[in-house]
Amino acid sequence: MNLWTSLLDVLILLATAMLLGALLERLKQNAILGYLLAGTLLGPNALNLIHNHEAVTGIAELGVALLLFVIGLEFSRSKLRSIGAIALGGGTLQVVLTTGLGMYAGTLFGLDLPAAFAVGSIIALSSTAVVIRLLVQRAEIDSVHGRNTLGILLLQDIALVPLMLMVTILAGKGTAMDVGWGLLRAMGMVILLAISLYLLTRIAPLLLGTKVTTERETPVLLVMVAAIGSAWGAHALGLSPVLGAFLAGMMLAESPFATQIHADVAPLKTLFVTLFFSSIGMMTNPAWALEHWPQVTGLVAAIIFGKMILITGVVRLFRFSLGRSLATGICLAQVGEFSFVLAGQSRQQNLIGDELFELIIAATVLSLFATPYLVAFAPRISRILDRRAAPTTSDTDPEIHEDRIAIIGYGPAGRRVAEELTKHGHSLIAIELNANSLADARALGIPMVVGDATSLQVLKHARIESVKAVAVTIPDPGTARQITSQIRAIAPNVSIVARARFHRFTADLEGAGADSIIDEEMEVGYSVAAEIRKLL
């Protein structure tokens, strides 16, 4: 009977989420707002049509794990290493500073130190599920602020364990020795999980490549075992389940089956993630929030602006431009889903009372409602700021050269373009925001301008109007479109070849002025067809 009751709850929640999500999309809003609203309306504090909301919430947590598993499939270990500094250094600094400032603010409002620490730690965490989902939807996960955001979010997920240990200690149920052993144990468990998942990546391709897996169902089952099993394993080790799922996806990203795995998991991910957002909405108490709206809105404003400013400052320390840093801060200016876990534990340990708990939950959910608008606004303000003040440096002063070809973006794709053109004797110049690429360019004898190519100042410094052709290899669609438009404005006769990460952005690049577009999805299709013809 409980099974069918829970199934009916899931059905009602999904149907309402589907209707409200579709309605908001028709109103040109993000569907996530509809999912959150569905949970709020059907939850125990409103219409109370969901009878077994704990079971629904438990099922919905799989959605977050599957979401991070799919994201992991798109982030190989080499790509993760490229954002390692901002993840480890920036993420750690952000969690520490936000917790500390939250503690200080809490004491100003009369909280004792244990309660103030609980509030600070709750506020320190941002929403992995909502932000990553939005960045992927907007094709901004490969942008500079997208990679920075992902790195900090992953560190926050790791920080959940020590924060929970500290809450337990401050509640008087542990000692400093317990904290030390707990942290050592957590580090050991992370290493054990990584080793286990690494072994999985060695075994899974062998299983997927055997004759046993000729039936379509077997690879699907292996994928689900990897995704859900890694999440369960991380939970069993006392770690964040989404961290385990992300690591499993990342380990499998370099296997030849990554694309098919992505396709197999996507429908289930959509189902569970929708349930997750709706279950978050069920935790809201609309009547209480309306009654205490001054406190709720004040806390939401303090969280959004406080985290935005603090994270912007942290990212700036790693030599990112003001625009990119602010975009990262805006994306992370909310309270996350794992804050509910910390809030629940803090109330259970009597560190915070019911009133403060309700205030935190209301502010958290409202910050999540604001997140789609914040993420949409982030790249716009980034472009405005970086266009006004974009510092440029170069290893040599670019000379006017009519036969020179400019490569914008010196990542893996840009380097490959440079290698091929160098073989044929072409003179090149590169423009790249990441100064770490200077050494690679110098190895090929290519002068590089270090700066943001969305800025007219940077393009003019590189004398883009005098080059013969430009290759725009930036993976982020919005940035590639803006760069193409800027080049066309100052160099109307130059030939522009632009990279389109997804087919749906080719029209945007054409409208921006690209002469030729390399459609990655179409190129994959051509390559696959060519390989099949060879084999036949």
Q: What is the CATH number of the domain that holds 461?
A: 3.40.50.720
Tally Cβ neighbours within 10 Å of residue 475: 20
Q: What is the predicted pLDDT for the residue at 231?
A: 80
Mean pLDDT of the 317-324 span: 86
CA dihedral 47, 53, 56, 61 (to 10 degrees): 110
Q: At residue 337, does pLDDT exceed 70?
A: yes
Last residue of a domain, one of 344, 365, 388: 388
Our count of domains for the chain comes to 2
Q: Which range marks the domain in which residue 356 is found?
A: 2-388
For 63-75, what is the mean pLDDT?
A: 70
- How many helices (H) and strands (E) would you count in the chain? 24, 7
pLDDT (tens digit per residue) in 505-517: 888 888 888 999 9
> Given a cut of 60, is residue 1 above it in pLDDT?
no
CA 456 to centroid of chain Cα atoms:
29
pLDDT at 172 over 50: yes
Query: Cβ(405)–Cβ(422) under 8 Å?
Result: no
> Taking the CA atoms of the chain, what radius of gyration do you get in angstroms?
25
Residue 257 has a pLDDT of: 64
| pTM of the full structure | 0.69
pLDDT at 213 over 50: no
* Listed range (158-162, 239-243, 461-465) with the worst mean pLDDT: 239-243
Picking from 343, 371, 388, the residue at the C-terminal end of a domain is: 388
449 falls in which pLDDT band (50, 70, 90)?
A: confident
Q: Which residue has better confidence, 81 or 347?
A: 347
Kindly state whether residues 378 and 459 are assigned to the same domain.
no
Lowest-confidence pick of 43-57, 62-76, 139-153:
62-76
For residues 219 and 164, membership in a common domain is answered with yes
Residue 287 confidence (pLDDT) above 90: no
**Do 156 and 44 fall into the same domain?**
yes
Q: Where is pLDDT greater, at 134 or 69? A: 134
489-502: average pLDDT: 88
Specify whether 406 is located in the same domain as 309. Answer: no
More confident residue, 223 or 176: 223
> How many Cβ atoms sit within 10 Å of the Cβ of residue 202?
10
Q: What is the pLDDT of residues 419-434, one digit of tens each?
A: 899 888 888 999 987 7
- Confidence at residue 333, expressed as pLDDT on a 0 to 100 scale: 94
User: Is residue 455 domain-shared with residue 424, that is, in the same domain?
Assistant: yes
Same domain, 381 and 397: no
Are 375 and 492 contained in the same domain? no
516: three-class secondary structure by DSSP: strand
How would residue 211 be classed by pLDDT, with cut points 50, 70 and 90? very low
Same domain, yes or no: 314 and 450? no
Q: Are residues 471 and 376 in the same domain?
A: no
- One domain, residues 384 and 413: no
Domain closes at, from 350, 370, 388? 388
CB 420 within 8 A of CB 402: no
Q: According to the model, what pLDDT value does residue 214 have? A: 47
Same domain for 367 and 491: no
H or E stretch at 408:
strand 405-408
CATH code of the domain containing 38: 1.20.1530.20
User: How do 393-394 and 448-450 pair as beta strands?
Assistant: antiparallel
pLDDT value, residue 479? 85
What pLDDT does 482 receive? 86
168 and 53 fall within a common domain: yes
